Amino acid sequence: MSDRKLSIEELRGIALPLLEEARQIALEPKELEVKTKTDRNDLVTQVDSSIEEFLARELFRLTGYPMLGEEEHEPESFAGRVWILDPIDGTMNYVATHRDYAISLALAEDGIPVLGIVVDVTKNLFYVAQKGKGVFCNEERIEPVPTDSEYQDAVLITDIKEICALPRLKEALLSSRGHRRYGSAALELVEVACSRAGAFVHLWVSPWDIAAASLICEEAGCKVTRLDGTNLDVKQKGSILAGWPGVHSSLFKRLVQDPR
């Protein structure tokens, strides 16, 4: 562990090879031990736990920073630098479809993400954002999202739970270019950042689902808020509405401000 304060660039350089090792852990053929958590579709495997244990240990050894991890790590506070990890985002996909799952790692400074990395494990794509420095996918810069489109011009990503809870969302989807759902909140936000979808709506995301990908979205020019338009606090569970600026504002207007 270094005595001086590491730069975000240096931290990125530390995190990326560890994430490649974590990706290999996910891909290694093995018999999965699948357990349920809060309900029958909320899964965890021994691989989620191994990846979290490996990254928490190595990142602490090399940086000294604590971790908030989905499976078993909690920092004493969010003061200073804290790693935020979802060892496998999309565990149902990991178990059932074997694709569309991610490793999501952010570094937060006083609770604000300054480095966000989402690894699309099976596609071998590393999406990386540093605050103020834009987004890269495997070293290639991601273009900023369109600014002038409205929700009718774009594909929208959300889940059946949100459609059932928000009848106006169903109406909005019907007048959009179409509805998509992949089963990993981190990868779904990355779809928006890469201009492949106009917005992502979710009612109940956790810090580890969104800490990295919300920075990736912001750095690509997206607007990211709670569904009621208030600021996103990645330290707390809650809703998220992330979208290209015009898609975000038109969808927010349709869903919350002046629903017809």
Q: By the criterion CB under 6 A, which residues form the site for ligand IPD?
A: 86, 89-91, 159, 183-185, 205, 209
Judged by beta carbon distances under 5 to 8 A according to partner kind, the member of Ca ion, ligand IPD, none in contact with residue 191 is: none
Closest approach, Cβ 238 to Ca ion, in A, equals: 14
Instruction: In angstroms, give the least distance from the CB of 8 to Ca ion.
Output: 24
Shortest Cβ distance from residue 86 to ligand IPD (Å)?
Answer: 5
Nearest residue to Ca ion by CB is 89
Q: Measured from the CB atom, is 48 or 150 closer to Ca ion?
A: 48
CB-nearest residue to ligand IPD: 185
19 makes contact, choosing from ligand IPD, Ca ion, none, with CB < 5 to 8 Å by partner type, with none
Residue with smaller CB distance to Ca ion, 89 or 162 = 89
In the complex, minimum distance from the CB of residue 91 to ligand IPD, in angstroms, rounded to a whole number: 4
189-218: contacts with Ca ion (CB under 5 A): 209
Locate 130 and state its tokens: 């540093």
Question: How many positions of this chain bind Ca ion (CB under 5 A)?
Answer: 5
DSSP string, the chain: --SSPPPHHHHHHHHHHHHHHHHHHHHS-----EEESSSTT-EEEHHHHHHHHHHHHHHHHHH---EEETTTB--S-SSSEEEEEEEEE-HHHHHHTS-S-EEEEEEEETTEEEEEEEEETTTTEEEEEETTS-EEETTEEPPPPPSS--GGGSEEE--HHHHHH-HHHHHHHHTSSEEE--S-HHHHHHHHHTTSSSEEEEEEE-HHHHHHHHHHHHHTT-EEE-TTSPBP-TTS-EEEEEE-HHHHHHHHIIIIIS--
Q: Select the binding partner of residue 184 from Ca ion, ligand IPD, none (C-beta < 5 to 8 A, by kind).
A: ligand IPD
Minimum CB distance to Ca ion, residue 4 (Å): 33
Q: Does 100 bind Ca ion (CB under 5 A)?
A: no
- Binding site residues, Ca ion, CB under 5 A: 70, 86, 88-89, 209
